[in-house]
Amino acid sequence: MPALTQTALMERIDAFTLPDEARMWMHTANRLLTDEECRAVERHLASFVSSWVAHGTPLKAEFGILLNQVVVVAVDETRQVATGCSIDASVAALRAVKGLLPSLEDLDLFDRGWVVHAPAQPDEAWQTTKLHEYWAMRKAGILRDESLLLDTTLTTLGDLRAQGVKPLGDSWHAEMW
């Protein structure tokens, strides 16, 4: 399994080749994926994005798995806009991941209640915590303004590149305190 560090995360984000304006969806899994599971998901999503269309027009798209837990799907809408039906197709492709391997049957990519975070040190390991537990950790002083998080609410690759990793104090979570 690759190192789950900020450096590894930024290298993976930098590997996206679509323009900054590319529309993006981020799906945090309820657990880490093993390397074998990542490979199976990557094969499945590679097949999907290579044939993804909107009203019969091919979409220029790519995907990535960040930190063995966050699946990113992006599409360059300067050529063709992703329509409701094509977005539904991407959701169906993500739901189909559960059937790729027996070990993926418990995988949930649609629970928005996860926070991906790390201590402020750049190469500390990242972890995923349920939102209510994250806020309890903040209230208890375990997490500080300098603690890092991956903002999974962003909607473009440019935003992911520029502000995907940010200190808690600069995120929407800070408004809770």
Please tell me the distance from the alpha carbon of residue 29 to that of residue 103, in angstroms, as a whole number: 13
Please tell me the distance from the alpha carbon of residue 144 to that of residue 132, in angstroms, as a whole number: 16
Structure tokens at 171: 């995120």
pLDDT single digits (tens) 132-141: 999 999 999 8
Please tell me the distance from the alpha carbon of residue 10 to that of residue 67, in angstroms, as a whole number: 10
pTM comes to: 0.92
Mean pLDDT over all residues of the chain? 92
Please tell me the distance from the alpha carbon of residue 24 to that of residue 74, in angstroms, as a whole number: 4
C-alpha closest to that of 122 among 141, 142, 148, 143: 148
Asked if residue 175 has pLDDT above 80, the reply is no
Asked if residue 1 has pLDDT above 60, the reply is no
